[in-house]
């Protein structure tokens, strides 16, 4: 990723690419595949919008992968629950890693304000942005609701997770992206700035499932 920056400086390539993953839920293999995709696509940084813990049993391996690529990560609700319930606060690097993560990240990249939160702004871990029905189609009433809710924030790009839905939708002036769960939606994404385009990639040899486990939502 350092060499990507040098390339842009030498050749005046004004473009930054962010690899996006979410909700890995302690499943290492999809994260490893996403990182490989991001390396092949020469992203400049990798961001994860929370819920590293929960469901799976490969939390240590998943965190090691995120650390290996210097992933910019935030907390999700499952991560908070892990921290509250864990008896292992010293023996491994898992607890200290999660314990240092913030609830939100805000950066200005290529002149665009990018904000990442697990569920919804300003710092909700549970009130997720549900835009899709169980078939993966946009629910217009939800789109209108969240467009109004987000109208008060001054953000160019909002990156979320939590709902296990896959979308990149303009809600007013804000591009809202949920890269989906790498474990359950079999998806990851690349955001290019400043043009704010999104590429989608499938994981685990499966097609992207745009809306997972509707019954839990």
d(Cα 76, Cα 46) in Å, to the nearest integer? 17
CATH superfamily, with its number, for domain 2-205: Metallo-dependent phosphatases (3.60.21.10)
Number of residues that make up the chain = 217
Averaged pLDDT score across all residues of the chain = 92
Mean pLDDT for the stretch of residues 187-216? 92
Q: Would you list the domain boundaries of the chain?
A: 2-205
pLDDT at 32 over 80: yes
Query: Quick one: pLDDT at residue 217?
Result: 45
Name, in order, each residue with C-beta under 8 angstroms of 179's C-beta and a sequence gap of 6 or more.
Answer: 20, 21, 22, 49, 159, 161, 166, 187, 188, 189
d(Cα 126, Cα 129) in Å, to the nearest integer? 9
Closest CA to 188 of 74, 32, 61: 32
pTM for this one? 0.91
Tokens 């467009």 — which residue? 147
Would you say 143 and 171 are in contact if contact means Cβ atoms under 8 Å apart?
yes
User: What's the pLDDT tens digit per position in 64-103?
Assistant: 999 999 999 999 999 999 999 887 665 578 999 999 999 9
- Write the burial class of residue 199 (CB in 10 Å: 0-12 exposed, 13-18 middle, 19+ buried): middle
Would you say 77 and 126 are in contact if contact means Cβ atoms under 8 Å apart?
yes
């Amino acid at each position: 990723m350092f060499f990507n920056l040098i390339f842009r400086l030498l050749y005046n390539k004004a473009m930054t690419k962010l690899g996006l993953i979410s909700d890995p839920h302690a499943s290492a293999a999809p994260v490893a595949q996403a990182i490989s995709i991001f390396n092949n696509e020469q992203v400049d940084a990798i961001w994860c919008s929370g819920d590293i813990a929960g469901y799976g049993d490969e939390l240590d391996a998943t965190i090691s992968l995120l650390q290996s690529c210097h992933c910019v990560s935030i907390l999700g609700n499952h991560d908070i629950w892990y921290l509250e319930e864990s008896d292992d606060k010293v023996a491994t690097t898992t607890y200290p890693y999660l314990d240092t993560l913030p609830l939100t990240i805000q950066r200005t990249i290529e002149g665009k304000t990018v904000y990442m939160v697990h569920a919804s702004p300003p710092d909700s871990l549970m009130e997720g942005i549900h835009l899709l029905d169980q078939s993966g189609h946009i629910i217009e009433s939800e789109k209108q609701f969240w467009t109004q809710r987000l109208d008060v924030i001054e953000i160019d790009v909002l990156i979320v997770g939590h709902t296990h839905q896959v979308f990149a939708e303009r809600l007013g002036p804000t591009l809202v992206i949920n890269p989906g769960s790498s474990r359950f939606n079999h998806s990851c994404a690349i955001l290019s700035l400043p043009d704010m385009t999104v590429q989608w990639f499938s994981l685990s040899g499966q097609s992207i499932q745009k809306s997972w486990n509707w019954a839990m939502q």
